[in-house]
Amino acid sequence: MIDHLPPLRAVIRDHDLRAKKSFGQNFLLDLNLTARIARAAGDLTGADVLEVGPGPGGLTRGLLAEGARHVLAVEKDARCLPALAEIADAYPGRLAVIEGDALAVDPLAHLTPPIKIIANLPYNVGTELLIRWMTPAQWPPFWDSLTLMFQREVAERIVAKPGSKAYGRLALMVGWRADARIVLHLPPGAFTPPPKVSSAVVHITRLDAPRYPADAKVLERVVAVAFNQRRKMLRAALKGLHPDIETLLRASGIAPTARAEEIGLAQFCALARAVKDA
């Protein structure tokens, strides 16, 4: 038992929180599991946590029981607010809830560094937020780490290495300025109701500065164009980027006949610098 609040099944029954598809709701009801996810985010004492999509509060309770200094939870489904208020009462001064769409709310004013972001979100919202959190106007971003649930296939794309089928934009975008690893695999049965696919929790720790110098916008464009036609040789896939792309590829240490999935981060950054200078 991680706290003295009622079991999540009772919370869901008493507050009539039947999962709605329109909110992408697949709840975690095992508090030992949610405490494990909280621990996967590292030491929470002394950190503020931004939790997106707390739902009935299973992960929220895990975060608080694991010692988070303060949790700010953003939830779109107003039906969940009374259940979350009960958790806030049990942990005085440590949980604040904002009702709203995480894609529209700016939580920064309510958070004090160091900040960790931890969430079990609908998969589509999670990927969109990951891309936003990884591409802020300035680096370092406002957060220190992201611990997020994804569809297993997306989790594998985030941590993929060159040469693998899963390797592409997500791995490069994350790997350029952060370390990412899968910390937990979850079968569909871990959720209520069970989703169709398996899930995995990815833990991402930001670096203070990018691994290799490059202009973020140029790098994003080069990588996007390269993987848009991942089976083509780079000299063909990238020909719209510059009239003499072959020379730029060679200058970056890349064979013009190579394909995007064979190219590592250091070479993509070199190519982004060459494209910018040209």
Phi/psi for 15 (5° steps) reads -100, 5
25 is an interface residue for ligand SAM by CB under 6 A: yes
* Binding of ligand SAM by 131 (CB under 6 A): no
Beta carbon of residue 220, minimum distance to ligand SAM (angstroms, whole number): 24
Segment interacting with ligand SAM (CB under 6 A) among 84-92, 98-106, 160-168, 179-187: 98-106
Whole-angstrom distance, CA of residue 11 vs CA of residue 257 = 59
Position 55 contacts ligand SAM (CB under 6 A): yes
Residue of 11, 28, 148, 155 interacting with ligand SAM (CB under 6 A): 28
Peptide bond into 140 cis (omega under 30): yes
> Could you say whether residue 66 binds ligand SAM (CB under 6 A)?
no
Q: In a 3-state reduction of DSSP, which class is residue 61?
A: helix
Does the footprint of ligand SAM cover residue 126 (CB under 6 A)?
A: no
- Considering only 38, 40, 74, 148, the residue that binds ligand SAM (CB under 6 A) is 74
59 makes contact with ligand SAM (CB under 6 A): yes
Q: Count CB neighbours of 188 within 10 A.
A: 13
Strand duo 95-99 + 115-119: pairing: unpaired
Q: What is the DSSP letter of 189?
A: G
**Smallest distance from ligand SAM to CB 122, Å:** 5
Q: Which of 38, 40, 84, 125 binds ligand SAM (CB under 6 A)?
A: 125
* Nearest distance, CB of residue 27 and ligand SAM, angstroms: 4
Question: What number of helices (H) and strands (E) belong to the chain?
Answer: 11, 9
Candidate segments 74-82, 170-178, 232-240, 262-270, binder of ligand SAM by CB under 6 A: 74-82
Contacts of 261 (CB under 8 A, 6+ apart): 162, 163, 164, 165, 167, 168, 227, 230
Q: Supply the angle between the helices 58-65 and 31-40 in degrees, to the nearest 10.
A: 60
Binding site for ligand SAM (CB under 6 A): 23-28, 52-55, 58-59, 74-77, 80, 101-103, 120-122, 125
